[in-house]
Amino acid sequence: MTDTDTEEKAGEGGGNFILDIIAEDVASGRAKEVVTRFPPEPNGYLHIGHAKSICLNFGAAETFGGRCHLRFDDTNPLKEEVEFIDSIIEDVRWLGFDWGEHLYFASDYFERLYEWAEHLIEAELAYVDDLTADEIREHRGTLTEPGRPSPHRGRGKEESLDLFRRMRGGEFADGEKVLRARIDMASGNINMRDPVLYRILHATHPRTGDAWCIYPTYDFAHGQSDAIEGVTHSLCTLEFEDHRPLYDWLIENLGVPSRPRQYEFARLNLTHTVLSKRRLTELVAGGHVGGWDDPRLPTISGLRRRGVPAAAIRDFAARIGVTKKDAVVEMAALDHCTRELLNRTAPRRMAVLRPLKVVIENYPEGETEELDAVNNPEDEAAGTRKVPFSREIYIEREDFMDDPPKKFFRLAPKREVRLRYAYFITCTDAIKDADGTVTELRCTYDPETRGGNAPDGRKVRGTLHWVSAAHAVAAEVRLYDHLFAEGDASGDGFLDRLNPNSLEVLDDCLLEPALGDAGPGETVQFERQGYFRCDPDSTPEKPVFNRTVSLRDSWAKKQKKG
């Protein structure tokens, strides 16, 4: 089966056609050692779409006993910053991948790339053009009309070489001249209509400073950097499919040390968010979110801050597969992977987010007892902890109704419920303020039901979580929802579709005392509430928790029905 056949089959969806191609290359001897690379441009923070590519490139190399390089495409100093380089390194490491000694930058090869550019000029395969960017665009033609040659296309190699060297010397202003490949202005592929290889940018580079004022385009640097590093499989998303002929043309017309091959796969499209770096930048720069690590963003740093484990992201990437067919994945699928993992690993704790005071009138005043609570029912080795219980406790305000409907099984006047790990209690009175709002409940408890079971075998329908008033830890809890309420956040006017309820901050929450020592990064399940991660904004006096995901898994139910 040829590469084309394999890629055609990939369009049908499912599996990982890239691994199939690599397996064939290894079996045929075409690839003696598999070398891949992840080549981010350091002009922003990585997002979940990049995570798919990271998992594919590093995972493929690991599967075949090869290696994966981390290489920064730092060819545009106008947009690139050291902050972005540092964040990308942190994100890739956090996802669980290591490039060893193979950390590279396109700027490492600037001199060699320049020499190759001169080689193209001398071979009359490139020329210096004086057209502006707008004029080049106008001459390029359309999908149905061929391009028109630049008036400078016939410029001789001696003149072009002289001008190119003067471009490097800083003699010309930005945009005054460019170096273009001389290929075919009538090509059906617009990318082959004399593409720009070098442009003038008088800007300080994060790594090379002011040593250069001309910079290679991505198309020129990409394949040649792959060749220098001995990359065997250059994996890109589908928008680069039309660039592959140029990638191959440059490789074939330069004396590169190896012959990498480019393959394209469908990028990740996710509901309820945007994965365009330009739009993410607009959200951050416009103050619509709190920064690149805002937990509502699909950035890796935002997902990490929200509490999504790296292993859940890797699991998500594996489940959605790698194909050549564009598809939109539901955000709920990522939540499902997160929920599945945290259910096995996160310790359970009790937290009351909207407190309502309860006084247990027949419980001895001034007395406190410690009750045994399970840390994680999915992990017997996690053991138990002690939870203090006293006369005054807090429950969730939504767990009480003065006049409940038939299917409300929680607390109500004259109704008995179970307190998790504690006792049965019965509501005897609801105290209200002048507006009729319930401010406090009076209850009694049955001392024979310690641990949550009645010796006479009577049953209750509702079980509530709670915290002891005297021992509660005050906390702030941030409830995150989709950044975009609508599933489709693409198209123009995307800012108009921002979800105004994507963040709710609860400032008067109460936690069981075991959470008083929680540190940033710690993830727990608040019983009956969801999974939460302690945020870096926490202080010793007041922890802050971000909701990662709720307990309800609508996606899993939908898959079962399907």
Are 482 and 464 part of one and the same domain?
A: no
Same domain, 430 and 482: no
Give Cα separations from 345 to 297, 372, 402, 528 (angstroms).
24, 20, 38, 16
Residue 240 has pLDDT above 50, yes or no: yes
Residue of 9, 24, 41, 442 marked catalytic: 41
The pLDDT assigned to 560 comes to 63
pLDDT single digits (tens) 544-559: 999 999 998 765 666 6
For residues 505 and 460, membership in a common domain is answered with no
Which residue, among 231, 281, 322, has the nearest Cα to 49 in the 3D structure?
A: 322
Name the residue type at position 537. Answer: D
CA dist 439 and 2 (Å) reads 73
Confidence band, pLDDT 50/70/90 cuts, at residue 66:
very high
Q: What is the mean pLDDT of residues 409-424?
A: 97
Q: What is the amino acid identity at position 369?
A: E
pLDDT surpassing 90 at residue 462? yes
Is residue 41 among the annotated active site residues? yes
- Out of 199, 277, 314, 324, pick the active-site residue: 277
User: Phi-psi category of 253—alpha, beta or left, where left has phi over 0 and alpha has psi -120 to 50?
Assistant: alpha
Predicted local distance difference test score (pLDDT) of residue 562: 56
- CATH value at residue 480: 2.40.240.10
- How many C-alpha atoms does 236 have within 13 Å on its Cβ side? 20
Strand intervals (E) in 319-383: 328-329, 348-349, 351-352, 355-360, 368-374
> Given this model, what pLDDT does residue 552 score?
85
Q: Let me know if 267 is a catalytic residue.
A: yes
pLDDT exceeds cutoff 70 at 9: no
Residue span of the structural domain in which 431 resides: 351-468
CB within 8 A of 521, min separation 6: which ones? 533, 534
Name the helix (H) or strand (E) containing 114: helix 110-122
Identify whether residues 379 and 405 lie together within a single domain. yes
pLDDT band at residue 226 using 50, 70 and 90 as cut-offs: very high
For residue 364, tell me if it sits in a domain.
yes
> Exposed e or buried b for every residue in 340-354, given b needs 16+ CB within 10 A?
ebbbebbbbbbbbbe
Which helix (H) or strand (E) covers residue 110, if one does?
Answer: helix 110-122
Instruction: Report yes or no on 19 lying in a domain.
Output: no
Q: Which residue has the tokens 């009538």?
A: 186
* Residues 6+ away with beta carbon under 8 Å from 271: 328, 329, 330, 331, 332, 487, 488, 489
**Across the strands, what pairs with 38?**
70
Q: Are residues 225 and 109 in contact, defined by beta-carbon separation less than 8 angstroms?
A: yes
User: For position 6, what pLDDT does the model report?
Assistant: 46
Judged by DSSP in three states, 341 sits in helix
Q: Is residue 14 predicted with pLDDT exceeding 60?
A: no
Domain assignment present for residue 229? The answer is no
- β-partners of residue 463 are 418
Q: Is residue 498 part of a domain?
A: yes
374/441 same-domain check:
yes
Q: What angle do CA 125, 130, 134 make, to 5 degrees?
A: 105
Cα–Cα dist 479/549, whole Å: 9
CB 516 within 8 A of CB 538: no
CATH number at residue 275: 1.10.1160.10
For residue 1, the model assigns a pLDDT of 42
Residue with the two structure tokens 């509530």: 464
CB atoms within 10 A of CB 319: 12
Domain presence at residue 487: yes
- Give yes or no: residues 377 and 361 share one domain: yes
pLDDT in tens, 471-517: 999 999 999 999 999 888 888 889 999 999 999 999 999 999 999 98
pLDDT band at 322 (very low <50, low <70, confident <90, very high): very high
Annotation marks residue 9 as catalytic: no
Please give the pLDDT value at position 491. Answer: 80
Decide if 150 contacts 159 (C-beta within 8 A): no
Domain count for the chain, please give it.
Answer: 3
Q: Is 130 inside any structural domain?
A: no
Residue 141 has what DSSP assignment?
-
Proportion of the chain above pLDDT 70, given as a percent: 96
Q: Is residue 285 part of a domain?
A: yes
Q: Which of 157, 165, 168, 267 is catalytic?
A: 267
Residue 80, burial from CB neighbour count under 10 angstroms (0-12, 13-18, 19+): buried
Q: What is the mean pLDDT of the chain?
A: 94
Residue 185 lies in a domain: no
Spatial distance between the Cα atoms of 532 and 544, rounded to a whole number of angstroms: 10
Same-domain check for residues 451 and 363: yes
Residues 327 and 329: their CA atoms lie apart, in Å, by: 6
**In this structure, are 281 and 323 located in the same domain?**
yes
pLDDT band at 8 (very low <50, low <70, confident <90, very high): very low
Among 345, 360, 386, identify where a domain stops. 345
- Burial per residue of 261-275, b for 16 or more beta-carbon CB atoms within 10 angstroms, e otherwise: bbbbbbbbebbbbbb
The answer, yes or no, to whether residue 325 has pLDDT greater than 50, is: yes
pLDDT tens track for 184-202: 999 999 999 999 999 999 9
Query: Are 407 and 462 in contact, with CB atoms under 8 Å apart?
Result: no
Q: What is the pLDDT, as a whole number, of residue 558?
A: 63
pLDDT digits (tens, 9 = 90+) for 102-125: 999 999 999 999 999 999 999 999
Residues 368 and 459 in one domain: yes
**3-class SS of residue 79:** coil
For the residues of 502-531, what is the DSSP string, one character each? SEEEEEEEEE-GGGTT--TT-EEEETTTEE
- Alpha-carbon span 70 to 99, nearest angstrom: 6
Residue that has been written with the tokens 């499209």 in this structure: 269
Single residue among 312, 345, 378 that ends a domain in this structure: 345
Which domain-ending residue is among 345, 375, 396?
345
Verify that 461 and 389 share a domain, yes or no. yes
> Residue 548: in which H helix or E strand, if any?
strand 544-549
Same-domain pairing of 365 and 444: yes
Count of other CB atoms within 10 angstroms of residue 562: 5
**Same domain for 398 and 295:** no
Tell me what the mean pLDDT of segment 218-234 comes to: 97
One-letter-per-residue 3-state SS of 246-293: HHHHHHHHCCCCCCCEEEEECCCEECCCCCCHHHHHHHHHCCCCCCCC
Q: How many residues does the chain have?
A: 562
Q: Is the pLDDT of residue 239 over 50?
A: yes
The tally of CA atoms less than 13 A away on the side-chain side of residue 44 is 21
CB hemisphere CA count around 5 (13 angstroms): 3
Residue for token pair 């075919």: 184
What per-residue confidence (pLDDT) applies to 15?
A: 76
